[in-house]
Amino acid sequence: MNRTLKMATWCLAMSVPAGAMAKSYAVKSDGLWSSRIIVSGKQVVFRASTLDRSKTDQVALNFNRSLKKCTTQTITLNFALKRSASRTFSKSNLFGKIRIDTHSVHNINYRMSTTKGSRYGYIYVTNFGNGQSILREMKRGQRMRFKLDSSSGKGYFFNFSLRGYPQASKRARRLCFAFLKKRRERRNQSDESYFNSGSPKRKNKDYFL
């Protein structure tokens, strides 16, 4: 595995917020996409992701779900920097566009950030119109393209295959609901076992007033 691919693979496993150490579990590939569970501290993310393989410095596109609402997806892009960031940086309310195949162009807002010393940059799509339309087009489409404006006036272009997206997205959704169900079962079981367990021997008498 070459250095660029190693960096891109690690970039896929990075969690949000930027710079947090994370571990991946239950990784499965579908076409050019993959789905997984990412755990970073107390944060759990259910991710469907792919890479822009048209560039030397690969970029990861991530659709993330959280336990707060398994049906909602957030979009992030992670990219490797040529050198470690010299400062912590964040720029909000940037503009861009998404287009799937020859469908209509969708306008988006995004935020770009990195942390001093990090080798990665992060893009967070913060607002987009016709969300349901975009998802329908992605399920049936072949390719998803991004055009992101920058504060310097230089645009960024990214190109992602959609082969495997429907399967990876569905699996990330299933993983989220399954995780949520198990968590609830553990909590209920814990309460039930507490009352069903034998009473401990006490040296001191306890009374209710």
pLDDT digits 0-9 by tens, 6-35: 434 444 444 344 345 688 899 999 999 999
What is the model's pLDDT at position 29?
A: 95
Token readout for 135 is 């998802």
Closest by CA to 105, choosing from 84, 128, 125, is 128
More confident residue, 10 or 138: 138
What is the model's pLDDT at position 18?
A: 39
Long-range contacts of residues 16-19, Cβ cutoff 8 Å, at least 24 apart? 16/43, 16/45, 16/64, 16/76, 16/122, 16/124, 18/113, 18/114, 18/115, 18/118, 18/120, 18/122, 19/115, 19/118, 19/120
DSSP 8: H
The alpha carbon of 41 is separated from its chain's Cα centroid by a whole number of angstroms, namely 15
Distance CA 27, CA 47 (A): 10
pLDDT average, residue stretch 186-193: 72
Is the whole-model pTM more than 0.85? no
Answer yes or no: are the C-beta atoms of 101 and 125 closer than 8 Å.
no
Distance CA 46, CA 174 (A): 9
- What is the CATH number that goes with domain 3-181? 2.60.40.1880
Confidence of residue 41 (pLDDT cuts 50, 70, 90): confident
Answer yes or no: are the C-beta atoms of 79 and 91 closer than 8 Å.
no
Q: What are phi and psi of 207, to 5 degrees?
A: -130, 150
What is the amino acid identity at position 156? Y
